[in-house]
Amino acid sequence: MMWVRSLLFNASFYVWTALVATAGLPLLVSPLLVRVGQRLWAVGVVVLLRVFVGVRHEIRGREHLPDGPFIVAAKHQSAWETIIFFLLLDRPAYILKKELLSIPLYGWYALRGGHIAIDRKGGAKALRQLVLDTRAAAALGKVPVIFPQGTRTAPGADVPYQAGIAALYRGMNLPVVPAALNSGLFWGRNAFMKTPGTIVLEFLPPIPPGLEKGAFMTELESRTEAASDRLLEEGRR
């Protein structure tokens, strides 16, 4: 039964995505309209998840989001968190790998929506450009969203945190809000099958600016991993 339900979700997800991407082409005239389209798309995916495979979500810790500018550093286990921040933040600016911009339609929307691309092979020069681009986005009132491990990871996998988040923390002088989650239990990386249940995303208390690089990275990783492990255990129960 879950195979059939997963098939229905996967098919409807791609149909919905193609429909929004093609019908929404006129929205490319305005970044504001692109954001409206992205939010509409995200709402549709959340509804499809609930209807076809029984996956819901719960958001905790909204009280930890600062009133002023900040950066979200989120755990990355699934495609789900590349979608949900369109609904959780007024103006998210995802930090994504440069290669994604070459994807037809997706790349157009990413550029016009003001998301931030990084050349992961570009070394120190790419990190400096990342800081400049993220500063520009924050100056426009956007909230940068970065996945510090740089890729989707299986639940419980030990994957190091990358230099991008350290560069942003040092160069932006903004609080960083860690976000823990357990989405990989229900929508695994490249997994055809989806599992019914409730994805939990939890915003943790912000890490204030000013820490030394090593101390910041240790604080971010230890808090995010401990909270994500707790949510994984909760999800498995």
Name the pLDDT band for 58 (thresholds 50, 70, 90): very high
Question: Which parts of the chain are beta strand (E)?
Answer: 55-60, 71-74, 92-97, 116-118, 143-146, 176-181, 197-203
Two tokens at 54? 């029984």
pLDDT tens figures, 85-116:
999 999 999 999 999 888 888 999 999 999 99
- Sorted by where each begins, the domain ranges of the chain are 55-236
pLDDT of res. 185: 96
Two tokens at 6? 């997963």
Percentage of the chain beyond pLDDT 70 is: 100
pLDDT tens figures, 116-136:
999 877 788 989 999 999 999
Q: What is the CATH number of domain 55-236?
A: 3.40.1130.10
Q: 143 to each of 18, 24, 72, 211, how far by Cα in Å? A: 27, 23, 7, 21
Task: Look up residue 138 and give its amino acid.
Answer: A
55 pLDDT more than 90 = yes
- Residues 219 and 16: their CA atoms lie apart, in Å, by 39
Mapping DSSP onto H, E and C, the string for 50-78 reads: HHHHCEEEEEECHHHCCCCCCEEEECCCC
Start-to-end C-alpha separation, the chain:
22
β-strands 71-74, 143-146 pairing: parallel
pTM recorded for the entire structure: 0.93
Two tokens at 153? 């990871």
Low-confidence winner among 117-126, 151-160, 228-237 (lowest mean pLDDT): 117-126
DSSP category for residue 131: H
Q: Mean pLDDT across the chain, nearest whole number? A: 94
CB 187 within 8 A of CB 78: yes
pLDDT of res. 29: 93
pLDDT of res. 209: 96
pLDDT of res. 122: 75
